[in-house]
Chain A
């Protein structure tokens, strides 16, 4: 766990919708209610990116929201981690090749690289929408409580 050295204590998160359909946002709300209770891990939703350790990004990052997203990332203090929630944020989802969206966090990282804004870690959480449990799993991954289960696979057809 590379990032657990920064985030040993409570993770304060800032939720930012970058053009998502609200489904992932509802699941984030679900995680913070007593039923799933992300407060067990010290996760707290804050109202300003200046207080946050982790940014929760949902949506495929529309061109309209892109300047605001960059401003928010700049405003977050330095060990900053992005949690890309949902298929739209991870790979553009169903909007990956449409006009007026840039197609998810991987494209955003390229833009940030050109602007020389550094991000200390990106966690990708696929799902359409993300299950509340997969958000908790991602938090557990950041804290070092769970192990990564997925890896790149190249299957060769026999013969």
Chain B
């Protein structure tokens, strides 16, 4: 029962004149929403926005996302961060956890659509391949991010974990003299 229904019952019970007086004293409460701005405050949590230039594809947001709205898929050439708005619960934990501040919260809530494909967002990363075995290791953005923090990581950043282990074992062997003498 909306405003019109209320008014009709008032008219039925009191007569038109009394009802009109009561209604004019109360004034209008109804929001004209699609034709006027909505009632959202600064604290409102809407859809998140991922900045593809800041994102390094580390997957911290994927780990923390309660409903798995953010998922990561990796194949041989690309690493894709997928955001499915239809499953998001707008907790904004991904924003707290993002190491580079790539995820930003917006106040958007007008997300209704008749096609579910509209609710998908993707960030496509290129992948660095291992210089020994050729398997995908990290994303290019992640490699740049790590090299900025620690210079000496250059020696092993583009190595697969197994190749990295092998390299380490060889170094230890060399140090303790276990390598076969030629």
Contacts and interface: CB of A to CB of B under 8 A. Distances in A.
Interface of A: 2-3, 32-40, 87, 90-94, 96-97, 104, 106, 121-128, 131, 133-134, 136-138, 140-141, 145-146, 148-159
A39 B117 CA distance: 30
Interface stretch (B3-11, B146-154, B155-163): B3-11
Interface of B: 1-6, 29-31, 33-34, 38-40, 50, 52-53, 55, 57, 66-69, 84-90, 108-114, 116-126, 139-141
A141 B123 contact: no
Contact of B120 (A38, A125, A146, A152): A152
Given A36-B31, A96-B67, A157 B86 contact: no
Contact of B30 (A35, A93, A157): A35
A44 B140 CA distance: 54
A150 B31 CA distance: 24
Given A34-B2, A91-B87, A157-B53, 7 more contacts: A33-B2, A87-B87, A91-B86, A96-B68, A126-B111, A137-B33, A158-B52
A137 B112 contact: yes
A156 B121 CA distance: 11
A38 B2 contact: yes
B163 to A, nearest CB: 24
A157 B141 contact: yes
Contact of B84 (A91, A122, A140, A146): A91
5 contacts: A93-B67, A96-B87, A133-B39, A133-B109, A136-B34
A150 B1 contact: no
A61 B58 CA distance: 34
A43 to B, nearest CB: 9
B34 A137 contact: yes
Give the residue among B88, B126, B139 with the most A Cβ atoms within 10 A: B88
B52 A157 contact: yes
Contacts of A155: 50, 52, 121-124
A127 B90 contact: yes
